């Protein structure tokens, strides 16, 4: 008869209050005593009695099982939410890059093409170097500038011996 009672005690389902206490404890936002006070009527208990009862209930096998299950459930939800956020961020990034590429290739106007190019360069890590265009030049002006640069480099370098045909002598 005593064995039957022990078996019945072991197989008892947790009460609604145990479930509530376990869920509050699993959240981790309140102390054990606060969770106990929110779950059970402690108006006639002293603080020390409430602490003692809270400790006893928090260590009850049914409550600890509920706490573990609830923590796993919360963890799974958190992981799914984080994965969704990562996917959303990746999708948003791809959409932005795709739009920038579109504006770079087929811009509605030149200013938008320039801004799209700058933004795309930053996105791929090329924002360390910048190019400034301060004046408009045609191709003749650019060719002349290049020729002047080459002449100044040639003047600074050592003279090269040339043969009759103008080629370098080795």
- The model's pLDDT over 131-140, given as tens digits with 9 standing for 90+, comes to 555 667 777 7
Q: Which residue has the higher pLDDT, 46 or 90?
A: 46
Of the candidates 43, 41, 21, which has an alpha carbon nearest to the alpha carbon of residue 32? 21
- Does 50 fall in a domain? yes
Query: Residues 153, 169, 145, CA angle at the centre, nearest 5°?
Result: 20
Q: Which residue has the higher pLDDT, 153 or 85?
A: 85
Residue 101: left if φ>0, alpha if ψ -120 to 50, beta else—which one? Answer: alpha
Is the per-residue pLDDT at 169 higher than 80? no
- Does 162 fall in a domain? no
The boundaries of the domain holding residue 90 are 2-122
- Does 135 fall in a domain? no
- Residue 42 is given by DSSP the state -
What pLDDT digit, counting tens, does each position of 4-58 carry? 655 555 667 899 999 999 999 999 999 999 999 999 999 999 999 999 999 999 9
Tell me the C-alpha distance between 168 and 41, whole Å.
103
pLDDT category, 115, cuts 50, 70, 90?
confident
- Does 152 fall in a domain? no
- Does 115 fall in a domain? yes
- Does 98 fall in a domain? yes
pTM (predicted TM-score): 0.50
Tell me the C-alpha distance between 16 and 8, whole Å.
18
Work out how many domains the chain is built from and give that number. Answer: 1
Structure tokens at 139: 């191709």
């Amino acid at each position: 008869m005593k064995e039957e009672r022990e078996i019945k005690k072991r197989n008892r389902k947790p009460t609604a209050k145990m479930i509530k206490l376990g869920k509050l404890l699993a959240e981790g936002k309140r102390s054990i005593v606060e969770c106990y006070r929110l779950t059970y009527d402690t108006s006639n208990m002293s603080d020390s009695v409430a602490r003692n009862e809270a400790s006893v209930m928090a260590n009850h096998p049914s409550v600890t099982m509920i706490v573990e299950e609830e923590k796993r459930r919360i963890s799974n939800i958190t992981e799914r939410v984080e994965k969704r956020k990562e996917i959303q961020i990746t999708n948003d990034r791809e959409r932005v890059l795709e739009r920038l590429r579109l504006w770079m290739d087929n811009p509605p106007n030149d200013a938008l093409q320039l801004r799209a190019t700058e933004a795309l360069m930053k996105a791929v890590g090329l924002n360390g170097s910048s190019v400034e265009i301060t004046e408009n030049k045609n191709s003749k002006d650019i060719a002349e500038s290049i020729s002047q640069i080459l002449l100044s480099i040639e003047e600074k370098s050592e003279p090269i011996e040339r043969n009759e045909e103008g080629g370098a002598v080795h």
